[in-house]
Structure 1
């Protein structure tokens, strides 16, 4: 072939094939894996591939969700322009028309029903900048006290438990790089193999290095398979189990008395309580044998280092905060925190579950983990925002409680950003009915979710490919998500939508930002001196250093890799141990003749949250096309069920129908249903409206139910 011909073919190939590379990070779990989307154009046809990119946390790994995340972002069902409901039909309108309708409806409501009648429901999937801005929008733009977010349903118990115990809440007290070197690990109610797959190599490496791993879960999962000891406890019995473990540690004198005396308070009360408990009774309450409890306690207590990780399995309960604190008692009693290879990890669920709760979306918090009821904190933030402290609203109520306020006609308008509460909340039928009562519902979303369908106005949200900003991952590592993919149609960045609405409400002077980085610069200042101090973090540093662990109070500070080495965050510098009885006053679902089984919920690897995004990904949707109920064959036969047939599950709150799946690895008194589906497969229709009194977490993980075959 002549040189001329070769040049001809090279030129032709260049004309028909182009490649673009977009840096981004996964929109799903709290690992926030860095990745690149590669877009190839051959003639006029485009194809896409996602590859992992090296970073300090996930080291270039991706799971099946991350590899296919672009499929939902590029899906044809994306909402690409504002929609207004007219005669029960959504009609496309201009941005100016949509914004004017929002202005009029919110203004009219606040004139007739009061400022607090308009509420804001946020998200733990949006960036730090947008979470910060949403809190400011509620309190400055709307002047309402009613703001909370869907992270309340995810991290409430862990955050409250850590704050009460340590005085501060950062997901991991250590970095993931310490996990392989610890000697004993307790995984309490966490299925990381399916929920955060790219963190698994750290635990596998720990096992290779000789670590003893204890898993606590009513089911056998991909995570419990790596454990040396699996405590298959009864759902809802985690307080009793933790107390039992600590009882053995005390009896075998496996305590770090020097640490207890110098670094903690409250140990004597805890000791008196757990010493009074009978191990036999604990075994009966938990369904875990005395020998296994003793074996687990001895293993953890006698090792020189150890870590405890908790997740939704023990946290999403009506005594979830107490359960977290009881496991933290074990860490403190054995002195396994604030030192190498020892610490606590709250395995965050949502992508920005950590950052989204630090800067003002929670009803009682201001940026930097400041308290909205603290005069000094209020004054500082009011000064940053350029308002009078007296004009800053007080605290409102939690996420679910806002729907109760709607039912009571105290809230008559709501702004929802990037969340689907009709599916994700407990007592889901009630939540849907409440939203229908609103005078005005405005929803920002990428798709026409179950919640968006109820809205009066729907605004098109930007995807992870298009929305630049910072996210704070499971470690507490702040990371910059680059996002340069062109936005489709008339889509706007979420932060821009907030600014646009504030502007038409007459608050433009407080929302004059022109970029996400400009918002972050104000966030830095707002968080300065707070417990979640981001002041030393800048976009330039994040690009160079690939993430920084907060607190980082100064631009010369490298960030904090290990918390509590010298003191805890309480005023006296000590951690607070907490005594709680196995039989608390908190009402919990119990088995009865009418509802003889316990229902617990969770995730599957191929789906995320309410499934609104992952079901738009063909590669993920094909792996799990419907919800299911996992039940032990013996239990199934007792109730006349057949494998793979439809089954009805009923609680006091509602009824759903799903497919029956046999499992020899689940407790015989327990059934499991994943929570990624909607309508008649929405398991949250079965969950009660009772809340943890400390953190207002619903009891997703324990419901009393009955099952029966679907006959027609």
Structure 2
């Protein structure tokens, strides 16, 4: 074949096939698995394939969500330009029109109703840079105290508990690489096999190495299958369970007296309270046999090393902070913290659930995990931001409480960034009713979510394939999402949108960034000296090390793999044990003749959060096309239900209709519904608006309900609408 012919065939081959590779990391859970999207074009057809990339946390593993994450980014319903609602319909507008609308309406609201009449509702899916900027936008660009984020509904109990006990919250006190060598593991309220599948090999390896695994969950799950002992407790009884385990450890003299004497405060007070605790009462309350309580306590107390991991099952309660502290008490009493193969881990839920709460989205926090009420912290951040300390607002209210402020007329404008509070909030009927009262609602989203549909203006958000920035994973490891795919249509990076809003509000000189890395350089300085110190971390360092664990104090610092080896983060260097289970404000609504079953909620493997993204992925949506209610067959028969029939679930707050799914793996007094669906399948319509007094976490995991056969979902739609219109008792039935 001649050279000319070879050139011809090569050129034809190039015409019909090309390949591009885009670096990124999974947008879903806190494992933040590294990945590449391989895009191939053959003639007019484009195909995509996702492959894992080696990294210190997951070694290239991906789960089904990560492998199909790209599908929602290319979905036909994705918003690619600003949309304004006119005569009840969304119409495309230019960015100039959109920003002018924001300027006029936000300025008008603050002139009429006051600076704090504006509010910002953020997200734990944002990068660290964008979370940092959103906090700065609220306090400097909008000058409002009202900012919080959806992570309040996810990690608040664990964060507050760790801060109170240890003096700092990094999620994991050790790296995952220590898990395989520990001798005993307690998994309290976590279904990691479905929620964080790529973490499972660490626990499977621990089991292979002889570790004794104890799982705490009202249901049998893919996670409890690996456990040697499953404590199938009644929902909402985790404080009693933790107290019972600790009492047995103390009475059997399995405490580490030297560790307690040298490094812990509060043991004497806890011990006195435990002396009044009756184990038989705990057995009756939790539903766990006494021999199982002793087996768990003795095994954990006797082993030379141990780890405790908590997640939403025990944390999403109105006593979630106490539950977390109760399990931390066990670690402190046995001295299993700050040592090899011993420590605590809060299994972060959202992709950047750790980093997003460290740099200023929470109502009471400033960057670096600083307190907005501490004068030294305020002065330092004011200097970094180039404003006077007295100009910074003080703390506002928590995420759900902002909707109460809206209902009362104190907040009249809201910016919602990459979140869907109508689906994710408790008492969801009330939240929807509140949002409808706003004078101006602006959302930033990839899709017209249930919340975005109520907005006056929707701005197009960038995806994980396009938006570069750092994230902090479940270990506290700061990673860099390279994300170099071109932005589609008129989409802007989320950080650019924040800067544009600051510009039209007259504060553009303080938001004149040209890249995500430039924002991170300021974040480094803002965090310096704070509890979450990122100062020694740079983009280049992350690239070189494939992630850096904070605190990292200076550029030569390698990062901190194990916390609390020498001291805790309280001023005296000692940890604090907590007396728990004595507060009357934690009285939970119990089952009754009217509402005879406990409802608990959670995830399924193929979906994430409110499902707005995963339900746009055909490969994921096909795995779970609708919500369902898991119920024990004997309970189903008692309530005249059949397997796979439509069921109406009712609480004091609302009703939903889902399909029944019989399972012998759940307690007979409990039903389970996943929370990834909206509309008449939105389980959070059934959840109380009572909040944990320490961290303001709602009690998602325990709601008394009734169940009965349902003819259709339309009847629930009519009743919920009637309930909203009547306004009885703030949306309650």
TM-score with structure 1 length normalisation? 0.99
- Secondary structure of the 1:506 match is coil
Q: How many angstroms apart in 2 are the aligned matches of 1:674 and 1:114?
A: 40
Q: How many angstroms apart in 1 are the aligned matches of 2:283 and 2:272?
A: 19
- Secondary structure of the 2:180 match is helix
Can you list the C-alpha shifts for 1:319-359, whole angstroms capped at 9, x where unaligned? Answer: 00000000000000000000000000000000000000000
Partner of 1:665: 665
- Secondary structure of the 2:506 match is helix
Q: CA deviation at 1:4?
A: 7.2
Q: How many angstroms apart in 2 are the aligned matches of 1:296 and 1:7?
A: 72
Q: Which region of structure 1 is more displaced relative to structure 2, 201-210 or 37-46? A: 37-46
Runs of at least 5 residues in structure 2 that lack an aligned partner in the other structure: 713-733
Partner of 2:726: none
Partner of 1:99: 99
Partner of 2:367: 367
- Secondary structure of the 2:438 match is coil
Q: CA deviation at 1:16?
A: 1.1
Written as runs of structure 1 = structure 2, the 5 A alignment for 1:198-237 is 198-237=198-237
Q: How many angstroms apart in 2 are the aligned matches of 1:297 and 1:682?
A: 38
Written as runs of structure 1 = structure 2, the 5 A alignment for 1:220-259 is 220-259=220-259
Can you list the C-alpha shifts for 1:526-562, whole angstroms capped at 9, x where unaligned? Answer: 0000000000000011111110000001000000000
* Contact 2:182 2:307 survives alignment (8 Å): yes
- Secondary structure of the 1:151 match is helix
* Contact 2:420 2:451 survives alignment (8 Å): yes
Partner of 1:110: 110
Partner of 1:287: 287
Q: How many angstroms apart in 2 are the aligned matches of 1:427 and 1:382?
A: 37
Q: CA deviation at 1:226?
A: 0.2
Partner of 2:271: 271
Mapped pair 1:301 → 2:297: no
Partner of 2:82: 82
Q: How many angstroms apart in 2 are the aligned matches of 1:89 and 1:180?
A: 55
Q: CA deviation at 1:276?
A: 1.6
Partner of 2:508: 508
The structure-2 alpha-carbon separation of the partners of 1:706 and 1:582, relative to structure 1 and needing over 3 Å to count, comes to farther
Can you list the C-alpha shifts for 1:59-103, whole angstroms capped at 9, x where unaligned? Answer: 100000000000001111110100111111111110000100000
Q: How many angstroms apart in 2 are the aligned matches of 1:614 and 1:585?
A: 37
* Contact 1:239 1:582 survives alignment (8 Å): no
* Contact 2:125 2:353 survives alignment (8 Å): yes
Partner of 1:701: 701
The structure-2 alpha-carbon separation of the partners of 1:583 and 1:360, relative to structure 1 and needing over 3 Å to count, comes to closer
- Secondary structure of the 1:272 match is helix
Q: How many angstroms apart in 2 are the aligned matches of 1:214 and 1:457?
A: 49
Partner of 2:521: 521
Partner of 1:560: 560
Q: Which region of structure 1 is more displaced relative to structure 2, 270-279 or 621-630? A: 270-279
Partner of 1:470: 470
Can you list the C-alpha shifts for 1:416-474, whole angstroms capped at 9, x where unaligned? Answer: 00000000000000000000000000000000000000000000000000100000000
Q: How many angstroms apart in 2 are the aligned matches of 1:491 and 1:14?
A: 30
Can you list the C-alpha shifts for 1:355-390, whole angstroms capped at 9, x where unaligned? Answer: 000000000000000000000000000000000000
Q: How many angstroms apart in 1 are the aligned matches of 2:688 and 2:331?
A: 32
Q: How many angstroms apart in 2 are the aligned matches of 1:138 and 1:49?
A: 39
Q: How many angstroms apart in 2 are the aligned matches of 1:637 and 1:132?
A: 52
- Secondary structure of the 1:701 match is coil
Can you list the C-alpha shifts for 1:120-171, whole angstroms capped at 9, x where unaligned? Answer: 0000000000000000000000000000000000000000000000000001
Q: Superposition RMSD on alpha carbons, in Å?
A: 1.0
Partner of 2:451: 451
* Contact 1:130 1:495 survives alignment (8 Å): yes
Q: How many angstroms apart in 2 are the aligned matches of 1:181 and 1:706?
A: 45
- Secondary structure of the 1:692 match is coil
- Secondary structure of the 1:556 match is coil
- Secondary structure of the 2:478 match is strand
Can you list the C-alpha shifts for 1:654-678, whole angstroms capped at 9, x where unaligned? Answer: 0000000000010000000000000
- Secondary structure of the 1:144 match is coil
Q: How many angstroms apart in 2 are the aligned matches of 1:218 and 1:205?
A: 25
Partner of 1:498: 498
- Secondary structure of the 2:260 match is helix
Written as runs of structure 1 = structure 2, the 5 A alignment for 1:549-628 is 549-581=549-581, 584-628=584-628
Q: CA deviation at 1:497?
A: 0.2
TM-score with structure 2 length normalisation? 0.96
Runs of at least 5 residues in structure 1 that lack an aligned partner in the other structure: none
Q: How many angstroms apart in 1 are the aligned matches of 2:711 and 2:378?
A: 59
Partner of 1:407: 407
Q: How many angstroms apart in 2 are the aligned matches of 1:48 and 1:55?
A: 22
Q: How many angstroms apart in 2 are the aligned matches of 1:711 and 1:76?
A: 33
Written as runs of structure 1 = structure 2, the 5 A alignment for 1:333-352 is 333-352=333-352
- Secondary structure of the 1:245 match is helix
Can you list the C-alpha shifts for 1:490-519, whole angstroms capped at 9, x where unaligned? Answer: 000000000001101111111000000000
* Contact 2:322 2:581 survives alignment (8 Å): no
* Contact 1:240 1:582 survives alignment (8 Å): no
Can you list the C-alpha shifts for 1:284-306, whole angstroms capped at 9, x where unaligned? Answer: 00000000000000110000000
* Contact 1:85 1:457 survives alignment (8 Å): yes
Q: How many angstroms apart in 1 are the aligned matches of 2:530 and 2:697?
A: 25
The structure-2 alpha-carbon separation of the partners of 1:382 and 1:87, relative to structure 1 and needing over 3 Å to count, comes to same
Partner of 1:45: 45
Q: CA deviation at 1:710?
A: 1.0
Written as runs of structure 1 = structure 2, the 5 A alignment for 1:620-639 is 620-639=620-639
Q: How many angstroms apart in 1 are the aligned matches of 2:435 and 2:585?
A: 32
Partner of 1:431: 431
Q: CA deviation at 1:583?
A: 6.9
Partner of 2:678: 678
Partner of 1:167: 167
Partner of 1:392: 392
Q: How many angstroms apart in 2 are the aligned matches of 1:519 and 1:8?
A: 48
Q: How many angstroms apart in 1 are the aligned matches of 2:5 and 2:144?
A: 71
- Secondary structure of the 1:336 match is coil
Can you list the C-alpha shifts for 1:200-243, whole angstroms capped at 9, x where unaligned? Answer: 00000000000000000000000000000000000000000000
- Secondary structure of the 1:139 match is helix
Q: CA deviation at 1:7?
A: 6.0
- Secondary structure of the 2:381 match is helix
Q: How many angstroms apart in 1 are the aligned matches of 2:8 and 2:347?
A: 56
Partner of 2:727: none
Q: CA deviation at 1:3?
A: 7.9
Written as runs of structure 1 = structure 2, the 5 A alignment for 1:24-35 is 24-35=24-35
* Contact 1:273 1:581 survives alignment (8 Å): no
Mapped pair 1:320 → 2:320: yes
Partner of 1:486: 486
* Contact 2:447 2:612 survives alignment (8 Å): yes
Q: How many angstroms apart in 2 are the aligned matches of 1:52 and 1:11?
A: 31
Q: How many angstroms apart in 2 are the aligned matches of 1:580 and 1:204?
A: 33
Q: Which region of structure 1 is more displaced relative to structure 2, 179-188 or 276-285? A: 276-285
Partner of 1:193: 193
Q: CA deviation at 1:194?
A: 0.2
Partner of 2:646: 646
Q: Which region of structure 1 is more displaced relative to structure 2, 46-55 or 574-583? A: 574-583
